[in-house]
Amino acid sequence: HLFRLVQLVVEHIMIYRYRVLVFRAVKGETVHLPCHSHSNNSELISVQWRKNRADDICKWIIGNIAGSLTRDCNPRFTFNRKSFTLSIENIQLSDSGNYSCETTRIVPPPSLHKIIVRPVLSLSCVKRPDGSPMILCSVEFYPDSLKQLWIRDGDVLNSSYSNKSFNGSFSQQSYLKLPPQTLNDTIYSCWVNHPSLNKPLVANLSSSVCYESEGKFRDITDFFFHCVIYCIYEQSVSPVGVSVTPEPVLHDPLQSEILYSTLGDHHPVPCSPAVVRSFA
């Protein structure tokens, strides 16, 4: 029985130089060819075995988290994903040659994270300088791409006026003037759409809320006005204080009396002497 030696040369491709290992095997044996491996901390590693630097024998892409992503090896060739070793079973004379192992660390693309904050929408009742009621729709949002509408009973209304400001984020205030109060209650809606939303935001407000707040304000104003008028009136009719302390009554020996008045210029006014009669 003739044993034939099969010579395999394993090339470990490294930076700046090659490290060559020579393996001699007998036909029919199994040969294990080691490969220089990168650190296991790499997220993705590509391992490629070639023969004579041309024929691809085995190629794997390995991820530490997901495991083996792709793998493709020729028959009789087995790859160990932990040690990157290539095993050749039932080796033949035709397997002689130079085998190279290339490992490449695949750098993942930069991480990109996007935060989306939904706009903040609110409705409130306000007053114009003349006291007439209005509805204020306030919206805070970012970036600057907002569409806002006023809706009443399905009809789109024109805003009385609006303004927009920027202070790190955008803020828009839109005002809608209300008509004179009627018996019917009307629902007004502020409709807002923004790229950060899956669907538009809608806030509703009843007109009766604004009219009720207007009546409460008017009642408070009227009460305060009447209080001021009453105080002014009380001060204008208040009498001047007059002393009412009585003066003493003096009697002379003749039992005539003189009465003093505390009114007028405060001078004594003599009265006729009283006659005292005695009955025996």
**What pLDDT does 201 receive?**
96
pLDDT confidence bin for 5, thresholds 50/70/90: low
Residues 18 and 83 in one domain: yes
Domain range enclosing 20: 5-106
Residues 83 and 131 in one domain: no
Is the bond preceding residue 143 a cis peptide, omega within 30 degrees?
A: yes
Give the model confidence (pLDDT) of 59-96 as tens digits. Answer: 888 876 555 666 788 888 988 888 888 899 998 888 88
Cross-sheet strand order for the sheet of 161-166: 120-127, 133-141, 170-177, 161-166
280: which residues sit within 8 A by CB, 6+ positions away? none
Give the model confidence (pLDDT) of 208-233 as tens digits. Answer: 889 875 554 454 445 555 555 656 65
Mean of pLDDT over the chain: 75
266 pLDDT above the threshold of 60: no
Residues 13 and 102 in one domain: yes
Residue 233 lies in a domain: no
Residue 90 lies in a domain: yes
Give the model confidence (pLDDT) of 129-150 as tens digits. Answer: 888 899 999 999 998 889 999 9
Which residue, of 106, 129, 164, is where some domain finishes? 106
CATH number of the domain that residue 58 is part of: 2.60.40.10
Residues 151 and 88 in one domain: no
Which residue, of 213, 237, 271, is where some domain finishes? 213
Give the model confidence (pLDDT) of 165-203 as tens digits. Answer: 998 899 999 999 998 887 788 999 999 999 999 999 999
Query: Domains in the chain: how many in total?
Result: 2
Which of 258, 126, 267 is closest to 205 using CA atoms?
A: 126
Q: Radius of gyration over alpha carbons of the chain, in Å?
A: 54
Residues 95 and 172 in one domain: no
Residues 135 and 206 in one domain: yes
Residues 131 and 204 in one domain: yes
Residues 68 and 132 in one domain: no
Most trustworthy range by pLDDT among 93-97, 109-113, 120-124, 176-180: 120-124
